[in-house]
Amino acid sequence: MSSKYRNIFLCFGLLAVVVMLFSFDMKYDELWTNLKRAGVYLPLVLLLWLIIYFINTCSWYLIIRGGKHSLVSFLRVYKFTVTGFALNSVTPVGLMGGEPYRIMELTPYMGVERATSSVILYVMMHIFSHFCFWLASVLLYAILFPVGWIMALVLGFITVLCLLLVTVFIKGYRKGMAVAFIRLCSHIPFLRKRASSFADKHKDRLETIDKQVALLHSQRKSSFYGALSLEFLARIVSCVEVWLILNVLTTDVSFISCVLIVAFSSFLANLFFFMPMQLGGREGGFALAVGSLSLSGAYGIYTALITRVRELFWIVIGLALMKIGNIKKNN
């Protein structure tokens, strides 16, 4: 990728970080007091994401390799992973900054078709693992907690929605989604002409990308299920963050409860996917999630605060990595 495009991504990310710093609904002295209250748990939370991003990178690297020797190193893919998630976090609608960045960085190593298909496959796997995680959490809640009629409606809604989306994604794995996505865009009023023109101009390339997407599911099932398992594992490991934060406030919260808190809060936050860093949705999600488990809503607000600080920390790290260790021939 050229330095010009990296600088565009970097400037957009830095601008978003500045906006987020001024959007904290808390005075800075109060914020500092809460951070000090976290004590040793705060650096543990920050370090935990080294492991989570490592697992995410293993999943993506498994897709990139395709059972062969990779032309791009694992450490470089780790770098692209962290920066990609950082850009996604600061982008409204999500997946609008990190994925183009990853494709542009991988293209010199793999070519545009393989780079695009590997990123599409990883994004699909990352999202698919969320559906699996939410479905597993619904089952876990139904087994461990009494379910009233209101909660039954909520759990039923989550189950039906996830099963519907799982069906769509399985179809996408079998046939690819690039052509279908462009066709969908061609029915949107403001995108109709551009999408149709793009489809006509890049028809062969889009079909090649879809064939490579379908190849993972049909012929490389070990890579498919391996990548999905790693992404699901990353969801479980991320629950340790909530467990560490809540241990600052109480010792009466089990890890299973933390899994349910993460599941339900992330589901609600993703309903507000159009907000950068899911501002507002995540805080409300944590408060509602801990409330449904008979915990104080204040626990949820505090958890959301520490999580927001952790995310800002890793966004800054990801943006900094964008300018570090780049190959000169790509500039």
Hey, how many other C-beta atoms are within 10 angstroms of the C-beta on 224? 19
| Integer CA distances (angstroms), 261 to 48, 141, 240, 294, in order | 18, 10, 11, 11
The amino acid sitting at 75 is: L
* Residue of 55, 177, 56 whose CA lies nearest to 124: 177
Helix-helix angle 149-175:203-219, to 10 degrees: 110
pLDDT for position 38:
74
Q: Provide the terminal-to-terminal Cα distance of the chain, rounded to the nearest Å.
A: 6
pLDDT for position 15:
67
- Domain span at residue 43? 3-325
Q: Report if residue 130 sits inside a domain.
A: yes
Q: How many domains does the chain have?
A: 1
Per-residue pLDDT of the chain (331 residues; tens, 9 = 90+): 666 666 666 666 666 666 665 655 556 566 677 777 778 888 999 999 999 999 999 999 998 887 677 788 999 999 999 999 988 887 755 545 678 888 888 888 888 888 888 888 888 889 889 999 999 999 988 888 888 888 889 889 999 999 998 888 887 777 766 666 666 666 666 556 766 776 677 677 777 777 777 776 666 778 888 999 999 999 999 999 989 988 877 777 788 888 988 888 888 777 755 444 444 445 555 555 555 555 555 666 777 788 888 888 998 898 888 887 676 544 4
Q: Report if residue 330 sits inside a domain.
A: no
Q: Report if residue 199 sits inside a domain.
A: yes
Q: Report if residue 50 sits inside a domain.
A: yes
pLDDT for position 331:
41
Q: Report if residue 105 sits inside a domain.
A: yes
pLDDT for position 292:
55
pLDDT for position 241:
92
